[in-house]
Amino acid sequence: MTLITSWVESANSADTDFPLNNLPYGVFSTDALEPRCGVAIGDMVLDVAALEEAGLITLSEDAVFDVPYWNDVMELGPDAWEALRARLVSMLSNGSADQAEVTPFLIAMDGVRLHMPLVVSEYTDFYAGRNHATNVGTMFRGAENALPPNWLHIPIGYNGRASTVVVSGTDITRPWGQLKAPDAEVPRFAPCRRLDIELEIGAIVGTSTDMGDRITVGQADKMIFGYVLLNDWSARDIQAWEYQPLGPFQAKAFATSISPWIVTRAALEPFRTSTPEREKDLLPYLREPGPMLYDIDLSVIMQPEGGKQEVIARTNYNEMYYSAAQQLTHHASSGCAMNAGDLLGSGTISGPEKSQRGSLLELSWGGKEPMTLSSGETRTFIEDGDTMILTGHAKGEGYRIGFGACEGTILPATPDNFDA
């Protein structure tokens, strides 16, 4: 696949995250414009709400872009998604007859504010990276019991909180919780001291299923509207005390950040790749009809307050053991209804090497092996004032499909207010 050239010059640069091949969907506002749907192209945002109002894009009888979310477009279904992409490619391609009419609807990206691109219906997080599960299991339960007995058969997940999914750039306040040191008799309630990230990809479900419906992996794949970068902020000390027997709860509930642009399944199509060979055969309902993962390079960047950005890990989405389509199939397998706007976290993406680990828990091996930054500072977990940034892109010939950044800065815990 090669670059599709655009009359928007900045979209033809090999370095842009947003060439014409990408066309990711976000929600933006300016001093003059209320939050509305937009499409990233090079260093510009295309105001599709205004294009719709001007009659240059029509997806349905009712307006679908003049709202601060893409859920209405999702609910129109895959044929409409395809029609929208085809229309956008046609109007933005080099030599398009629409250039003069469309030009007034482009706004410089550095002049807009980005918002949550969707209303998250529900959020489910999985645990589908084998290297991550093995590392964490080894730390928490020992090498002998690293992978739980169900892990090679089920994409393990838990129901998370949609209420605290926030867009990149939102500050994250250090959470309070129950902490219990191994040698302490009872827990105490205090600010988290082992605050962490999880590098993940979020899949956005674009069509719904009814209660009682089951779906194949092939059907599930077609239900996915697009993907975002996802940081599943994690309080490891809260998690270690609370997680048995029902899994994480408050350790994960305080915040999840996503990147502001939904990269569509269509844009990622040329980068499909397969899940790894199975150590144990999967049950038939989880078998994939074709390649369901994507080759997406991912980085974790840390920036201490007042310091410079530093890459602390690099890995790839192709390290997952289960794909988003398999996770969605499993999620619906009991008859659980899935909704447009459902967000599925992949699980932490770690490669086999130490430099490829997608969490500080793994990078510092439970805090035992501090990382040294180029400034000489060391880190085991995240300090107040640190900014954590995830980036990702799939590499084509002379272009890349980028996600933009998913970042958040940690603010100090709120003061103690439990004196009463």
Please tell me whether residue 232 binds Mn ion under the rule CB under 5 A.
yes
Least distance between Mn ion and beta carbon 326 (Å): 16
Inter-residue contact 411 to 173 (CB < 8 Å)? yes
Least distance between Mn ion and beta carbon 281 (Å): 26
Residues 372-388 as b/e (b if ≥16 CB within 10 A, e otherwise) read ebeeeeebbbbeeebbb
Number of H helices, E strands in the chain: 11, 27
Dihedral pair phi/psi, residue 205, rounded to 5°: -75, 130
Among 122, 125, 237, 362, binds Mn ion (CB under 5 A): 125
Dihedral sign for Cα 134, 139, 144, 146, please. negative
> Pseudo-torsion of CA 210, 211, 216, 220, nearest 10°?
50
Closer residue to Mn ion, CB minimum distance, 252 or 314: 252
Closer residue to Mn ion, CB minimum distance, 125 or 221: 125
Beta strands in 81-187 (DSSP E): 106-108, 113-115, 123-126, 157-159, 165-167, 172-173, 176-179
Pick the closest to residue 36 from 65, 64, 57 (CA basis).
65
Residues 6 or more apart in contact with residue 281 via CB below 8 angstroms: none
Please tell me whether residue 362 binds Mn ion under the rule CB under 5 A.
no
Least distance between Mn ion and beta carbon 81 (Å): 27
Q: Which residue is nearest to Mn ion (CB)?
A: 232
* Window contacting Mn ion (CB under 5 A); options: 147-155, 230-238, 267-275, 389-397: 230-238
Residue 317 to residue 314: CA distance in whole angstroms: 10
Dihedral pair phi/psi, residue 154, rounded to 5°: -130, 135
Closer residue to Mn ion, CB minimum distance, 109 or 312: 312
CA 374 from centre of chain: 28
Q: Give the count of residues interacting with Mn ion (CB under 5 A).
A: 3
Least distance between Mn ion and beta carbon 343 (Å): 12
Residue 370 to residue 381: CA distance in whole angstroms: 9
∠26-24-20 over CA atoms, to 5°?
A: 140
* Window contacting Mn ion (CB under 5 A); options: 17-25, 117-125, 161-169, 398-406: 117-125
∠397-402-403 over CA atoms, to 5°?
A: 160
Pick the closest to residue 349 from 217, 264, 225, 230 (CA basis).
230
Residue 115 a catalytic site member: no
Closer residue to Mn ion, CB minimum distance, 198 or 319: 198
Least distance between Mn ion and beta carbon 286 (Å): 20
Closer residue to Mn ion, CB minimum distance, 156 or 401: 156
Please tell me whether residue 122 binds Mn ion under the rule CB under 5 A.
no
Least distance between Mn ion and beta carbon 359 (Å): 9
Closer residue to Mn ion, CB minimum distance, 112 or 133: 133
Residue 125 to residue 344: CA distance in whole angstroms: 6
Residue 204 to residue 227: CA distance in whole angstroms: 6
Catalytic entry in 132, 330, 331, 393: 132
Radius of gyration of the chain from Cα atoms?
Answer: 22
Least distance between Mn ion and beta carbon 192 (Å): 16
Closer residue to Mn ion, CB minimum distance, 232 or 242: 232
Which segments of 77-229 does DSSP mark as H helices, in order?
A: 78-92, 99-102, 130-141, 217-223
* Window contacting Mn ion (CB under 5 A); options: 120-128, 150-158, 313-321, 365-373: 120-128
Least distance between Mn ion and beta carbon 216 (Å): 26
Residues 178-217 that bind Mn ion (CB under 5 A): 198
Closer residue to Mn ion, CB minimum distance, 36 or 330: 330
Residues marked active site are found at 132
Site residues (vs Mn ion, CB under 5 A): 125, 198, 232
